[in-house]
Structure 1
């Protein structure tokens, strides 16, 4: 038998199809589980490489933790909203540039506030008295010194310290760093903002996570029109099945079988798991045979944080023309942070962003109560605040499709768990921000892992069929000319 004919017949043995009789015509085939940034990036790459791809998404929408809401009459991101690393090295930059999507830069490199600079802010105490900019800057310098001192701790190894314990040890060694009165409250606000960056409480974050985090250059840019255009572009022309919640993944010598909630099955040559880490932790997806112990350890030992957004839409602007407003208090739990979207988008919107324990507590409230809670924090500093005319509230921690916002390093756990989570198991591949060794918790990290999983999958499947062309360009190698990013800064 002609080898090419034999190869073609082999390729037709594992098409994507469901037990309902919907059968695809082409192969090789891949099932992508999860229609977020990573899953769509993987599906797009494999589709463009002539694979038969079906995306199974449990929600009634695509995007996952990237969710641009238009119900207020303009786009607002309830999930990811920043491009972390406004530079040509960012893998998302070419796509964002080609789409002509504007960015509003909120931070340069190496800011103590991560995604903000201390250039446009207004902090107040609980009595509504504004904190002087000079004091905020001085406390910021002290906070940086505290973090540097904490990261120099070597006995025992600092990777086993939580951030809060490390700061306490620094105060023991350097009592001159201790602050009192309003300065102490400002320091707690800095800690609150750092907890917001990692979406976790300081007593659960590994100090190593602070010390060795890698960031792309160029600072941080807010997506002025939201991330939805990027998601839509990646999804164009793909076979996406919404409302398809996966309950089981069976890997076999000749392919995979994926079962969804209503009992229907899909089979293919391989599968890419691109669901959030929180969903993997919940064990709602059963793997047969069971995943190796090293893979389960990575799932169990990586942390999942929570940061939510409470969007307050007002009839008109009544607050100072600054990028963010803050309330300082005796503890980071009682501090508040509001992002002023009016600076970037022109719409009269403030975004309250609780993280960690506070976010979990607020998730127990109704949307109305959560919006009132945020509004009361605002009234503390701006007594003349008008009542919001609309509100939106995210629930990333309790949403069964996410069960958390994004990953972080837990105390005493090696950073290598991210890489272990990414490594394939037979013909099952993994993608998502929690599989990014260098850029976990970021949209571009998720996007990159989707591309990596697609390339690993392509190589493995074609190798199996003896169709791998070693001289064929790697997917994504033929990158079109970059278009400059549209960046503003008010």
Structure 2
């Protein structure tokens, strides 16, 4: 199946669909094969009849003013809004704004540089002499790297973090946006032009083997119990790192012949981070009527309750980071656990994740489990860590990973 002059794109996530859009616009014949029964990869939007708000199981935020992504959003007239920058933090039962949190984090992260040999973030922290303030700052930084980067602090490299911070600065990465009617609108904005220009998309096609040599590509796929063969002259492989790292007998892809040694080394040396997110839909915005004691006497943090709650962080629970959909006022809260906390939840069923989520909110807000259960309408989660077509949330760079990332990107 296919055209020997075509380009075969393996994977219909954002990267694969972007490639299909660009290649078909340039006149190429494109075949896209996707293991799932849908396109989008780790962009996965649900819509419920009882909720006017789209439910994201994967990507939710647009981080920074990424020019290519914003061009797609604006050209397609997709509505989006700023995400609130209100972050609150609970420690020892007291609520504080996050200025102190971010100041500690920024001061510590600014000590990292590219001049010294690369080392793990944990080794970097260990190299800094302790005092009471530094110990607290290290704890804050550890939770940030584990949560935001979904990383193991003993593996993630300082150089990778520095480069990530520099890239964020270039696109105002401290600003975030939300697609109001669902992130899958971005997927559609990539898919439809590609299909209009002739791209053919095959879902439910799991690549088992990829045979490659100069100007000859054959993908052997399993599709609904049947073997299919796709032929092309070139291939663009956009599979998640976790899938590339999997052995063929454990659901990975067998490359025939094997990839060059430097490619294999690059794949094995990079890391896939773990993250767990859950969306809870309630009957009402119960948090708006609550009052949590402030860490500093007289500090007006709650603005007549938690009516302006954006993000709230409580490290001493299973799911430590939560946010609302502010500025949209909806009875919805999203929980997030990254790194080791997510690893502990990996492989658990949705009911278990829901129970840990409810318990986390009980600890954060002081609302009884019984009351939270009465208010809870539905919960939605997806185990990306155990998902055979993702095998993790997103990639990060271990020590000396910068060069390996570049090798993997080369033809």
Pairwise CA distance, 1:269: 1.2
The one-character-per-residue Cα deviations of 1:361-401 (angstroms, maximum 9, x if unpaired) are 11232101101101101101212362221001121111000
The one-character-per-residue Cα deviations of 1:439-489 (angstroms, maximum 9, x if unpaired) are xxxxxxxxxxxxxxxxxxxxxxxxxxxxxxxxxxxxxxxxxxxxxxxxxxx
User: Contact 1:247–1:286 at 8 Å: present in 2 too?
Assistant: yes
Pairwise CA distance, 1:315: 0.7
User: Contact 2:6–2:232 at 8 Å: present in 1 too?
Assistant: yes
Correspondence 1:372 to 2:358: no
Structure number with the higher strand fraction is 2
Counterpart CA distance in 2 for 1:259 and 1:360 is 32
Residues 391 and 124 (structure 1), Cα distance of their counterparts in 2 relative to 1, 3 Å cut: same
User: Contact 1:188–1:335 at 8 Å: present in 2 too?
Assistant: no
Counterpart CA distance in 1 for 2:163 and 2:189 is 34
Pairwise CA distance, 1:407: 1.0
Residues 225 and 42 (structure 1), Cα distance of their counterparts in 2 relative to 1, 3 Å cut: same
Correspondence 1:339 to 2:323: yes
Which residue pairs with 1:234 in the alignment? 190
Counterpart CA distance in 2 for 1:301 and 1:240 is 31
The one-character-per-residue Cα deviations of 1:21-69 (angstroms, maximum 9, x if unpaired) are xxx6xx7311111000111111122223333221110001100011112
Which residue pairs with 2:314 in the alignment? 327
Counterpart CA distance in 2 for 1:344 and 1:201 is 32
Which residue pairs with 2:228 in the alignment? 264
Correspondence 1:352 to 2:352: no
Pairwise CA distance, 1:139: 4.3
The one-character-per-residue Cα deviations of 1:137-158 (angstroms, maximum 9, x if unpaired) are 3343233222233x1697xx35
Counterpart CA distance in 1 for 2:335 and 2:16 is 29
What are the ranges of 5 or more consecutive residues in structure 1 without an aligned counterpart? 1-15, 18-23, 108-116, 425-490
User: C-alpha root-mean-square deviation of aligned residues, in Å?
Assistant: 2.3
**TM-score, structure 2 normalization:** 0.83
> Match of 1:402, SS?
coil
User: Contact 2:276–2:345 at 8 Å: present in 1 too?
Assistant: no
User: Contact 1:193–1:337 at 8 Å: present in 2 too?
Assistant: no
- Which structure has the larger Rg over C-alpha atoms? 1
Pairwise CA distance, 1:203: 2.3
Residue 78 of structure 1, aligned match among 57, 79, 94: 57
Which residue pairs with 1:287 in the alignment? 255
Pairwise CA distance, 1:358: 1.2
**TM-score, structure 1 normalization:** 0.70
Pairwise CA distance, 1:418: 1.4
Residues 189 and 106 (structure 1), Cα distance of their counterparts in 2 relative to 1, 3 Å cut: farther
> Match of 2:388, SS?
coil
Which residue pairs with 1:410 in the alignment? 398
Pairwise CA distance, 1:187: 6.2
Residue 94 of structure 2, aligned match among 102, 126, 130: 130
> Match of 1:230, SS?
helix
Pairwise CA distance, 1:254: 4.2
What are the ranges of 5 or more consecutive residues in structure 2 without an aligned counterpart? 288-305
Correspondence 1:141 to 2:141: no
Correspondence 1:35 to 2:3: no
Counterpart CA distance in 2 for 1:212 and 1:239 is 36
